[in-house]
Structure 1
Amino acid sequence: MAGKYRRIIEWVFKQRVAALDDEIEGSALDEDIPFHRDDLEAAMDELDISVGNVPDIPYAYRSRRPLPETVSQHGYSAVIIDDTREGEDPTYLFTKRNQLIAVPEVVDETHQTSLSALPEAVRPYIADDEQGVLTQTRYAGLLDDFTGLECYHLTSHLRFRVRGREAELDDLSVGVDDAGDHYALAVEAKGEGETLNRNQLIRNTRGIENKERYPDAVRTLAVKLHEGDIYLFEFDVFESDGDDRVETERVWKYE
């Protein structure tokens, strides 16, 4: 599948750059490069490649793998969704803006956890993907420890819309503090080999903020499995100069 995705995304990039060079002054490679689902489908037709889940192609280059060298050599680092553009069909962008958030070498705190916190019946079956790391986090009570709140799991794979476009949050919990105030805990989860993406964190946060059925206060969190350890992140999502931005507030490591 990786080879199929690479060929498709390379074809789309080449075609979109050529088209934009004819439309704008200067080089298209000076800007973010927009594309849509129909560009991906055109690539599949031209290359005679079949992919069942077309949106997974741009998602892969948002979170799971780097862009091909034929694209990244021009300074592009990731694919994001541009929610500022009109229309229900997502506008994807090849972007040069720094999107990927790596696991830091130095964390704010390190804690011990144990597989003994997991029910014996599930231990042999937990995968190293996003649902596996969420399962470990939930059974070991890591979210409560990290946030200082009493945390109650509400739902997984929550679908919602951000400015008219579909988005999906990996996990949503409600946290309650000592005063009885409630917080929506928007959790993005990444397994081994997957990477946190600023654009995705922004979309998660804005989507939950706009849902009246959830608490007004939203805390943006992430759980990442890396080399067998679990890392919990908390982020500040804020607006600056008209753009949404993300800063990492703290990272704890659970060995």
Structure 2
Amino acid sequence: MSSATGTQAVATVLTPPSRWRGLLRRHATMPVILAVVLLSTYLWVSATNLDDIEQRFLNADYLLRTAGEHVTLAALTTVLVVAIAGGGGILLTRPSLRWLTPFATGLANIGQATPAIGLLVLLSIFLGIDFSTALICLVAYSVLPVLQNTIVGINQVDRHLIEAGRGIGMSPLAVLLRIELPLAVPVILAGVRTALVLAVGVATLATFIDAGGMGALIVTGIKLQRETILVTGAILTATLALTLDWLGGVISDLLRPRGLD
């Protein structure tokens, strides 16, 4: 074997796998499992002799519409939670505002400690029965994980790195954007994933105030004793939650600083 060939072989052994290969290895299993579950559910429903009521709910148009309403509600909730809790968490890690942290986390705890259905009913009494009421309920219920993780993620950044950034002339904003937030991203995104899954689950209750979503399938299946509708709604809701959690994991790995891989 020539020396050039030997050097190339050693370099191949020592070269770490690419980031994309690592992502594929870590996240390839879940899409396959979800695809199998959805295909199995489709085959089961197709092989079932559906009555008129079941056909009214278990058709492509209705399922796509309710799934779209559910995704819209969960997505808007996530955007608002990230803006409110993420921005608030950053502000609460600034020295001048840290004294407000116990009050802010206590307020966020109230939203999650209250049973979701109770919170939804209370808000509907004061705000009315519509989409915006469900959205406010979901935001109140999902804000705590993002707020806590943002505070914890930024506060756990090594203070020596922050002092080093200040020592080379970085402004406080530059330290935040270039040191603190990049290193806190994995912890913050873990909170966002938790909030997103919570939003998808609690959004099933939105059907009680006429805000749409796949909860309509579950409630209809229970009220009319149609097992096929009930099981389909439950499976689709769980699949949506797991899909969004999987996407959150992929995004978290993509945004993770390379030194933390």
TM-score normalised by the chain length of structure 2:
0.21
- Give the greater-gyration-radius structure (CA): 2
As a proportion of its length, which structure holds more helix?
Answer: 2
